[in-house]
Amino acid sequence: MIKLIVGLGNPGAKYEKTRHNAGFLFLDYLAGRLGEWVTETKFHGRVLNCVIGGNKVILLKPQTFMNKSGMSVGAIARYFKIEVDEIVVAHDELDLTAGDLKLKKGGGHAGHNGLRDIIDNLGKKDFYRLRFGIGRPLDGGNVADFVLSNPSKQEQLYMQESFARIESQLVDLVRGDASKIMNNLNKKQDL
């Protein structure tokens, strides 16, 4: 069963709608239906306690900036005694095209500094990753500039459709039916 859903991003208006904030944007999408954010300094983040499919779930948006996300995730996981396999981390994924959405368990950080810090802080990597495709810069441009820029209107539409696809299966995900969700999500979508 999933007890903690983390969305990765950077705090502040400058980063609010950037590709790198896909995790924050997803949780904000859910929060519009589930409740209000509360700032919790002891967890270095914004927290929303909610019920999904009859199960208590914590949503977390670390406010430590991406590269230090593990500080927030580790603090809340230790405080509530949440096991690593009870955590889903939603984040942007360069290696998936815009609109693609995948769920996987474990693995490396693939150069994603937010994931790297979470792995380092938890000492384990067997949490679930909800990967929102953002693609790569078409012109071979700077990746950092790309992820920290706003997506096009079409990419924003793809992102919203991805959020709706996972929301429709959120109850099953929280209840721990990850293999069913993986089969449903890990297919190429016609958008």
Task: Say which of 20, 44, 91, 112 is annotated catalytic.
Answer: 20
Q: Characterise 129 by phi-psi region: left (phi > 0), alpha (psi -120 to 50), beta (else).
A: beta
> Helix axis angle, 153-167 relative to 22-34, nearest 10°?
50
Q: Catalytic: 20?
A: yes
Long-range contacts of 149-157 (CB under 8 A, 24+ apart): 149/18, 149/19, 150/17, 150/18, 150/19, 151/17, 151/18, 151/19, 151/98, 154/98, 155/19, 155/98, 155/99, 157/191
Instruction: Reduce the secondary structure of 61-119 to three states and give it as a string.
Output: EECCCHHHHHHHHHHHHHHHCCCHHHEEEEEEECCCCCCCEEEEECCCCCCCHHHHHHH
Catalytic residues, which ones? 20
